[in-house]
Amino acid sequence: MNAIEKNVDRIRFAHLPTPIEEMKRLSAELGGPRLFVKRDDATGLALGGNKTRKLEFLVADALAKGARTLVTAGAAQSNHCRQTAAAAAKFGMGCVLVLDGREPDEPSANLLLDKLFGARIVWVADRKDRESTQREAFGKLDDAGEMPYFVPYGGSSPIGAMGYTFAVEEVLAQGIDADWFVFGTSSGGTHAGLALGARLFGYRGKVLGISIDESEAWLKARVSALASDASELLGRRVEIRPEEILANDSYCSAGYGVLTGAEREAVTLFARTEGLLLDPVYTGRAAAGLVDLIRKGCFRKDESVLFWNTGGQPALFAEKYLDILDRA
Ligand SMILES: *Cc1c(COP(=O)(O)O)cnc(C)c1O
């Protein structure tokens, strides 16, 4: 444990460090910069993904506060909910998930796994009722003495962001001096952690989030605030300004979870050049952005780019995305 980390509770269960692999065939195919992938789809915990790193800190906080039930919310195919349900099972806690939409006749992919882990599911037909439904579910658990703990949406709170703050220390110790980190960004915790970690551990490259569903302006404000607030947990506030946050929102106009030709192409390209699996919602979209930026010549040939594969592969098998495998 290093001097900075001793200020925050953490339970280590992620499979770390995750490997870094060079993607030579993809780089040659695109005529682009040197490309590497950080295999955060291999973090362990129920098929892995970026939420594992956040949950090391969130579960530690929940247990330190005496909680016995994890409560969180998300989309029906939320990776965050799947991994939170698994973490709850692993630590002998209950789990309640507030999911958007209506219960499908045949649960598939992440939703099937939520059930396998024993999570209780509450459906919210209208997204605007999400918060009130959450509060109600939380209140009921509280009244029943189940000691609920609220895990924020996407695990993106200052505590959750710690996971990616320390991921920067990890990656720097792996000796790959990439000029760019590129990854999908949505609720901002991954982005904030990487931005703060870059500052604290002296990463000199650029930290570029490809937006999955939010505007650049929203991400700059959200991620800078989250990163600055997260720094306080480590003992001293570090101010990260919105202008310092790099976010590209050119690839999300289709809306959250809507699969377009761009994601399909990226998923297929990574599969066929590198034998790597991306997911339709997050890493497929982020990779589609990366591929487009490479084609537009946004990276110099002598630069290197580290793409964070943040996971999400179970969604490849979700009913609504089965055509990605079929039509590819
Ligand atoms: C949640 C998620 C993201 C986005 O991370 P945030 O911290 O919410 O911005 C990216 N990729 C995958 C696979 C995810 O599940």
pTM of the model: 0.97
CA of 32 to the centre of ligand 1 (A): 25
Angle between helices 158-173 and 216-233 (to 10 degrees): 90
Per-residue pLDDT reduced to its tens digit, 271-314: 999 999 999 999 999 999 999 999 999 999 999 999 999 999 99
Question: What angle (nearest 5°) sits at the alpha carbon of residue 214, between those of residues 199 and 322?
Answer: 110
Q: Mean of the per-residue pLDDT values for the chain?
A: 95
Predicted pLDDT of residue 292: 98
- Contact, 70 vs 84, CB < 8 A? yes
CA of 144 to the centre of ligand 1 (A): 32
- Residue 182 CA, distance from chain mean position: 13
Q: Is 157 a catalytic residue?
A: no
Distances (CA, A) of 23 to 4, 273, 274, 327: 33, 8, 6, 24
Q: What is the spatial distance between Cα 134 and Cα 188, in angstroms, rounded to a whole number?
A: 21
Per-residue pLDDT reduced to its tens digit, 129-175: 999 999 999 999 999 999 999 999 999 999 999 999 999 999 999 99
Predicted pLDDT of residue 325: 63
185 lines ligand 1 (CB under 6 A): yes
**Helix, strand or coil, per DSSP, at residue 195:** helix
79 lines ligand 1 (CB under 6 A): yes
186 lines ligand 1 (CB under 6 A): yes
- DSSP at 152: P
